């Protein structure tokens, strides 16, 4: 019989091509999964038949993964999932184009997907997909890239817990920003990270030490926004895997220490013509070569940032980072090539002109952060908003005459989000109510906790 299925490279487009890839690569083990509301990859091993069937027909995944927090504690305030649903199976459709052979496991493939049916409205991957469909309806293709700072410790999950996450030993001491000494002495682990991510189609464009003990920064290469989000989410997951396999730990929490700046997860975005792929943010005839369209996009990002902030700064800890002098913004503003503002316009020529959404922390769910950054910009284009005057100089001292102060806590930000008409129009009432409820839960859990600060502040003196 004639072989009608061509031999292919990644990515496969359907179950038949995926089956051929499994044969070509000698794959014996199969992982499937989906990212939850906090950006945590939840999944399991399945056999070959189950994998191919799930690509064709979908599969059921206990809806508890949309009904608990990052600590596996059940929400008591959500409608989408809870005891009232019986924690039934939620339908998930696998995306064969996400298939990746894992460099950490022999003969193992990973395929991710998203929730469908009644659960599609609250699926982070679905929220981004619908935002990109909105862009496509306006004639735009969206390019994106994310960059992450993360600290590495000479600890294990056991040792970190035994120490109560105190007095942790950094992988390397001292500040050593952009250090060639550090990346040469420890080149084996840098090379392993670079090679592993390249093998997983999450290629790192730049990797260097940042200022702080054991802190690294990785910039992931640009791609179509949907693929960029997948790459970012997988990068965070498997960077943790790589370091734990070496007896180390990587953390992406927004701020782990009072002494050092927080960890960013900056989001770079540009709009291209859907037919020609021309970067529509570039206009050589205008000041800084930034197009009028980009001005509207920036205006939307600035205007609606305070209302959409929980989609980007989604944890209690994320707001510890938004303080003056810590390389994170305090107001909704923008400027050209200025790292003190919430949005940095980058004149990168015909290919690289873009918006950098600098408010993002490393702990953000990349699907939701991208959806907020893109959705707000598209809204600015639809409303033809004029951009406010760009900040000149230090935005901490001069944030801009009418720049809105960003919410200072998750509780405040969530209240603004729930009340936002624009959030509901962009992402739907069901998502807004569900996501706001999960952030209210996070705030309540935090307020139950007695911190070291409480004890040191009040135990004796009051």
pLDDT higher than threshold 60 for residue 8: no
Query: In this structure, are 319 and 203 located in the same domain?
Result: yes
Query: In this structure, are 73 and 24 located in the same domain?
Result: yes
Report how far residue 128's alpha carbon sits from residue 366's, in angstroms, rounded to the nearest whole number: 9
The CATH number covering residue 336 comes to 3.30.590.10
282 found inside a domain = yes
Could you identify the residue written with the tokens 């031999």? Answer: 7
**Residue 190, domain extent:** 130-407
Residue that finishes a domain, picked among 407, 424, 442:
407
Query: In this structure, are 335 and 402 located in the same domain?
Result: yes
What is the model's pTM? 0.96
Chain centre to alpha carbon of residue 448: 27
Provide the pLDDT for residue 327: 85
Token readout for 370 is 């991208």
Residue that finishes a domain, picked among 122, 140, 158:
122
Sort residue 261 into left (φ over 0), alpha (ψ -120 to 50) or beta.
Answer: beta
pLDDT higher than threshold 90 for residue 183: yes
Query: In this structure, are 205 and 98 located in the same domain?
Result: no
Q: Residue 429, Cβ neighbours under 10 Å: how many?
A: 11
Question: pLDDT band at 5, cuts 50/70/90?
Answer: very low
Provide the pLDDT for residue 1: 31
Query: In this structure, are 113 and 134 located in the same domain?
Result: no
Query: In this structure, are 398 and 355 located in the same domain?
Result: yes
* Burial state string for 170-183 with b = 16 or more CB within 10 A and e = fewer than 16: bbbeeebeebeebb
Q: Which residues contact 460 (CB under 8 A, 6 or more apart)?
A: none
CB hemisphere CA count around 343 (13 angstroms) = 33
Residue that finishes a domain, picked among 391, 407, 423:
407
108 found inside a domain = yes
Report how far residue 148's alpha carbon sits from residue 303's, in angstroms, rounded to the nearest whole number: 25
- Return the percentage of the chain with pLDDT > 70, whole number: 98
Query: In this structure, are 245 and 346 located in the same domain?
Result: yes
């Amino acid at each position: 019989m004639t072989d009608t299925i061509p031999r292919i490279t990644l990515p496969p487009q359907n179950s038949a091509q995926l089956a051929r890839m499994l044969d070509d690569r000698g794959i014996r083990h199969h992982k499937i999964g989906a990212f939850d509301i906090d950006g945590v990859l939840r999944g399991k091993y399945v056999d070959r038949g189950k994998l191919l069937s799930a690509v064709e027909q979908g599969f059921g995944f206990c809806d508890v993964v949309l009904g608990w927090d990052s600590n596996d504690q059940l929400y008591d305030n959500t409608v989408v999932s809870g005891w009232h649903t019986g924690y039934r199976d939620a339908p998930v459709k696998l995306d064969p184009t996400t298939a990746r052979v894992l460099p950490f496991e022999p003969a193992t493939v990973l395929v991710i997907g998203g929730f469908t049916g009644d659960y599609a409205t609250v699926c982070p991957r679905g929220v981004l997909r619908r935002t990109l469909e909105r862009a496509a309806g306006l004639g735009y293709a969206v390019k994106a890239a994310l960059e992450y700072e993360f600290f590495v410790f000479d600890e294990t999950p056991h040792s970190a817990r035994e120490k109560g996450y105190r007095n942790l030993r950094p992988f390397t001491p001292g500040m050593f920003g952009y250090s060639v000494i550090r990346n040469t002495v420890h080149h084996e682990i840098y090379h392993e990270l670079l090679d592993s991510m390249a093998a997983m189609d999450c290629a790192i464009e730049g990797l260097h030490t940042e200022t702080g003990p054991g802190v690294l920064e990785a910039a992931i290469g640009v791609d179509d926004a949907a693929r960029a989000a997948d790459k970012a989410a997988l990068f965070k997951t498997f960077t943790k895997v790589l370091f734990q396999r070496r007896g180390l730990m990587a953390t992406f929490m927004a701020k782990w220490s009072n002494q050092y700046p927080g960890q960013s997860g900056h989001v770079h975005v540009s709009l291209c013509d859907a037919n020609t792929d021309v970067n529509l943010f570039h206009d050589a005839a205008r000041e800084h070569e930034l197009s009028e369209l980009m001005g509207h996009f920036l205006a939307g990002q600035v205007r609606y940032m305070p209302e959409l902030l929980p989609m980007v700064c989604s944890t209690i800890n994320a707001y510890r980072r938004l303080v003056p002098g810590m390389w994170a913004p305090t107001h909704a503003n923008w400027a050209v090539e200025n790292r003190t503002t919430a949005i940095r316009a980058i004149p990168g020529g015909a290919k690289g002109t873009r918006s950098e959404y600098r408010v993002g922390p490393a702990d953000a769910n990349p699907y939701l952060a991208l959806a907020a950054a893109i959705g707000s910009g598209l809204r600015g284009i639809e409303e033809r908003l004029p951009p406010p005057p760009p900040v000149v100089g230090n935005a901490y001292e001069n944030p801009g005459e009418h720049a809105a102060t960003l919410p200072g806590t998750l509780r405040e930000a969530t209240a603004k989000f729930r009340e936002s008409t624009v959030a509901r129009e962009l992402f739907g009432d069901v998502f807004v109510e569900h996501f706001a409820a999960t952030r209210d839960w996070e705030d309540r859990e935090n307020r139950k906790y007695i911190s070291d600060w409480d004890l040191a502040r009040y135990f004796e003196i009051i």
